[in-house]
Amino acid sequence: MSPKKRLWRIWAAIGGMRMERKLFIVFLLLITLPLSFIGYISYSNYSRSIEEKTIVYSTKMLENMMVRVDDYIEDMVRISSIPAYQDDIKQNLMRSNAYYEQRQQAAGDNGSQLPDDFDQLLVIQRGIEGNISFINTIKRGANSVYIFDHFGNGYFSTAGGGIRLNVKESYENWRENVESSGGEALLFSTQKYTSNLQSTKYAFTVVRKVIDKSLKTLGLIAVDANISVIEDQMSELDKVTNGDSVIIDEAGNVVYDSDKSRMATNIANDPTVALAKGTKGSFYYERDGAKRLYIYTTSPNTKWKVMTSIANSELTKDAVVIRRVTWIATIITIIVALFISFIFSFALTNPLRKMMRLMRNVQEGDFNVQFQVKYRDEVGQLGTQFNRMIVRIDHLIQDIYVIEKKKKEAELHALQSQINPHFMYNTLESIRMAAELNDDQIAADMIAILGKLLRYSISDLLEEVTMENELLHMRNYVEMLNYRYPGRFQLDIQVAEALYRYPIIKLVLQPIVENAIYHGMDDSKPFMRIRISSEQTSQIFWLRIEDDGVGMDEETLDRLNRSLAGAEEPGVKGKSGGIGLKNVNERIKLHYGNAYGLKVTSERGTGTVVMLQLPIELGREAE
């Protein structure tokens, strides 16, 4: 079934419902749809507002966190520059370089290794480590400090983090990268290492050359920064957002990860890293089947990027509560409103139900009913018109009863006064035969025509005949008049033959022509011309009966037309049994309706025109 037909069936089903149910459905839609729409819009706007505020607030927090991290890194950079200002450290580094250079040269000369001078080495170690030990105390976060001479010999100071077991490999990596630094501090991303305390540690490292006044490289210093300082900063953000945070460098190496699973790894190929373009922004990404909001910003100093991700469910937690409360309030409101609308629709339709019961009583013949009008609204006006209609119908029934009673009395009177038609026809036929036997052809013709007129006239006046029969009757009537007044009347019939088979009630033309002859005859003229013509449309046709008699003045014409309209009794009647113009007009209206009937126009000295308006009953012809 097509959607159009399905919609039409639904509409038809609604149209067939009782008014009470229709009103209930209308109230239901008017209440439910706006409330649902408002609830949806409110939830959407609230969710969007929370998201926007979360992004703005989290971005601000990230920027603040990044500033603190930058300050922490800057502190580590400043710590790494301390040896440049400590002459004792530089002098001991020069002694260490000289000592190991001498040993290297001696080994090169004779191929034998010189014995270690432990006293000298101890002095150098104490001189360097004694000066760098205070570094761990001046700033929280300096986990371990390493100073290496030019030959890679290391001197250490630790603040509880322990010494790297792979310090030799770390030194090689640091030295290789710091060679081209030009004395600037280098920042190495977080590394995972095992300390001499057999514990796993994470630290990022600040490394720089140690140079003398002549810019000669004496060695290098490496400061392992404790990642816990960054962790303290980022945990505050995670507590506020209930999310996870990660810090990565430009190469995608993880500096910090709140859940520790990706610490000291490279995530450059992670989709979220690719999506985090630009210096700051936000985006949505689905990870592990859960939609998350990612917010990021970038340090202008270190180019490290800090990114926090918040679960969408966490983001919309408050909005979900608001949505639940909104829907509960909406449902309660709808239930209350529906209860009120049910009562309201019942109250609105109750007068209509009462009126329907009264109509059933009227249908069963009880006209002694009345609708109690309480208000002046549409239902009240309908009730008033209903009461008037009942009174009018009751009066019409009484009028019809009186009319039918009079009609019965008239029919009884007609039967009592009527001569047996067969006797009259047979008598006229006998007279005609006698006239023919006596060679009186004129008398015979007159009697024959009189018989036809009598036969046509004695029957029900509302009986339908064909237009052809009605016009034939008119010819017989005028011919009979010409026997009485030879040559005084000319009948001209110009009715379309297409109308000959159409039905028409009998004896509508004779009274009009009779009225024209007896009241319009002009004795100054040798004869009177009567013309019958027709006009028609698809639904109506007119018969025009026109004479060239004396006509009527305006007063007489006005009185006649008002009489035909029912304003007063007619002043002009025909002589054929009281059937005049008013009689014809009333019979036409009774048979065809009030839209049809007679209209008369006339001018004194010119003649009279009677227009007879009748319907064309499509698909019907007189039998």
Return the SS3 of 19.
helix
Binned at pLDDT 50, 70 and 90, residue 578 comes out as very low
Fold of 242-315: Beta-Lactamase (3.30.450)
How many other β-carbons are positioned within 10 Å of the β-carbon of residue 554? 10
* 249 phi and psi angles, rounded to 5 deg: -90, -175
Residues contacting residue 392 through CB under 8 Å, at least 6 positions apart: none
Give the pLDDT of residue 507.
Answer: 87
Run of H or E including 161:
none
Distances (CA, A) of 153 to 168, 176, 539: 9, 15, 125
Mean pLDDT score, 488-498: 93
**Cα(305)–Cα(297) distance, integer angstroms:** 6
Mean pLDDT score, 516-541: 89
CB 206 within 8 A of CB 222: yes
Give the pLDDT of residue 425.
Answer: 57
370-391: string of b/e by CB count within 10 Å (b at 16+)?
ebebeeeeebeeebeebbeebe
Q: What is the CB-side half-sphere exposure of residue 348 using CA atoms within 13 A?
A: 15
3-state helix/strand/coil string of 213-228:
CCCCEEEEEEEEEEHH
Per-residue pLDDT tens over the stretch 143-189: 889 999 989 999 988 876 678 888 899 999 999 988 877 778 999 99
* Selected residue with higher pLDDT from 207 and 457: 207
Binned at pLDDT 50, 70 and 90, residue 469 comes out as very high
Mean pLDDT score, 115-142: 80
Q: Across the strands, what pairs with 503? A: 466
Q: And the tokens for 149?
A: 């001479």
Give the pLDDT of residue 424.
Answer: 55
Return the SS3 of 573.
coil
Largest CA distance in the chain: 193
**Cα(72)–Cα(230) distance, integer angstroms:** 8
Mean pLDDT score, 492-512: 91
Distances (CA, A) of 452 to 448, 476, 492: 6, 8, 20
Which of 269-278, 391-400, 502-511, 552-561 is predicted with the least confidence, judged by mean pLDDT?
Answer: 391-400
- Rounded to 5°, the CA angle 330-331-334 comes to 85
Sign of the torsion angle spanned by Cα atoms 54, 55, 56, 62:
positive
**Cα(124)–Cα(126) distance, integer angstroms:** 6
**Cα(81)–Cα(226) distance, integer angstroms:** 18
CB 572 within 8 A of CB 558: no
- Burial degree of 224 (CB within 10 A; 0-12, 13-18, 19+): buried
Q: Across the strands, what pairs with 546? A: 531, 609
Which of 194-208, 271-285, 502-516 is predicted with the least confidence, judged by mean pLDDT?
Answer: 194-208
* Selected residue with higher pLDDT from 478 and 135: 478
- Burial degree of 593 (CB within 10 A; 0-12, 13-18, 19+): exposed
Q: And the tokens for 277?
A: 């373009």
The alpha-helical segments, DSSP class H, found in 489-593 are 510-520, 554-564, 581-592
- Rounded to 5°, the CA angle 560-563-569 comes to 115
Give the pLDDT of residue 423.
Answer: 46
Give the pLDDT of residue 35.
Answer: 80
Give me the chain's average pLDDT, please: 82
- Burial degree of 273 (CB within 10 A; 0-12, 13-18, 19+): middle
CB 137 within 8 A of CB 150: no
Q: Which stretches does DSSP call E strand in 117-267?
A: 142-149, 154-158, 186-194, 200-211, 217-226, 244-248, 254-257
**Cα(177)–Cα(74) distance, integer angstroms:** 20
Mean pLDDT score, 460-469: 79
**Cα(570)–Cα(583) distance, integer angstroms:** 9
For residue 408, pLDDT beyond 70: no
From 158, 160, 129, select the one nearest 144 (Cα to Cα).
Answer: 158
Fold of 81-228: Beta-Lactamase (3.30.450)
Binned at pLDDT 50, 70 and 90, residue 576 comes out as very low
Q: How much of the chain, in percent, has pLDDT values that exceed 70? A: 89
Fold of 465-615: Heat Shock Protein 90 (3.30.565)
- Rounded to 5°, the CA angle 561-564-568 comes to 90
Per-residue pLDDT tens over the stretch 417-429: 444 454 455 556 6
For residue 294, pLDDT beyond 90: yes
Binned at pLDDT 50, 70 and 90, residue 254 comes out as very high
| DSSP conformation class of 575 | S
Mean pLDDT score, 571-584: 56
- Burial degree of 467 (CB within 10 A; 0-12, 13-18, 19+): buried
How many other β-carbons are positioned within 10 Å of the β-carbon of residue 180? 8
Binned at pLDDT 50, 70 and 90, residue 246 comes out as very high
